[in-house]
Amino acid sequence: MNNYHAYVIQDGRFIGAFERMYRDCPDPWQQDAVEPLSEDVAISLLRRRAYRRVLDLGCGKGRFTHRLKQSTGASVTALDISPTAVGAADSRYPGIRFLTAEVPPLPFPDGEFDLVVAAELLWYVLPKLCELFSEVRRVLTTSGQFLILQTFYQPGQQQYGREVMASPEDLLQMLPFDLLHQIECDRLSNYKWVGLCQKPA
């Protein structure tokens, strides 16, 4: 099996060959098999409110998108840059609208969703983070929420993007949202951060 890391970030450089990665690597990030603790934490946060329309950004092959659908019962739309990943997701999980698109921008009207999810996406849109956050705010309803799941790295281990975002604190400085909850999973290693935010009034 090919090393999927070589298609994404290598030697401190962003490669971003996601379509080739999904064609060449059967299961990048072990996304078919692994349900990380951060996903369980995120799902538990979402149980505190009812959602009607959910948007999942960077859905890959759709496993976590399917969990979002199961846990919220909402109408779910999901985007990914890779047609191969979107095709796999669409064939596995009927009842979810999967679309191929590069983000940002987001191809939806204002106020379309009451929840937007970005799971392990931010490193891959780092030069466009401010535009992404602006677009998420635009497509959210007045009281809409933004759920982020993101891996961070120990000092000295991160080679790409550390000048922009090296910690959850850096991310929070950039977020134009009100933070409702944040939970860190295993900060002693490369750790997962889960944040649930709300569109400001």
Q: Is residue 108 part of a domain?
A: yes
Q: Which domain holds residue 119?
A: 31-198
Give the integer Cα–Cα distance in Å for 120 and 43: 15
If phi > 0 it is left, if psi is from -120 to 50 it is alpha, else beta; for residue 35 that is: beta
| CATH number for the domain that contains residue 135 | 3.40.50.150
Long-range contacts (CB closer than 8 Å, 24 or more residues apart) made by 175-184:
175/133, 176/133, 176/134, 176/137, 176/200, 177/133, 177/137, 177/146, 180/145, 181/45, 183/41, 183/45
Domain count of the fold of the chain: 1
Q: Which class for 26: exposed (0-12), middle (13-18), buried (19 or more C-beta within 10 A)? A: exposed
Q: What global pTM score does this model have? A: 0.95
pLDDT tens, the chain, 201 aa long: 468 889 999 888 999 999 999 999 988 988 887 778 899 999 999 998 999 999 999 999 999 999 999 999 999 999 999 999 999 999 999 999 999 999 999 999 999 999 999 999 999 999 999 999 999 999 999 999 999 999 998 877 888 898 999 899 999 999 999 999 999 986 666 788 999 999 998
| 10 belongs to a structural domain | no
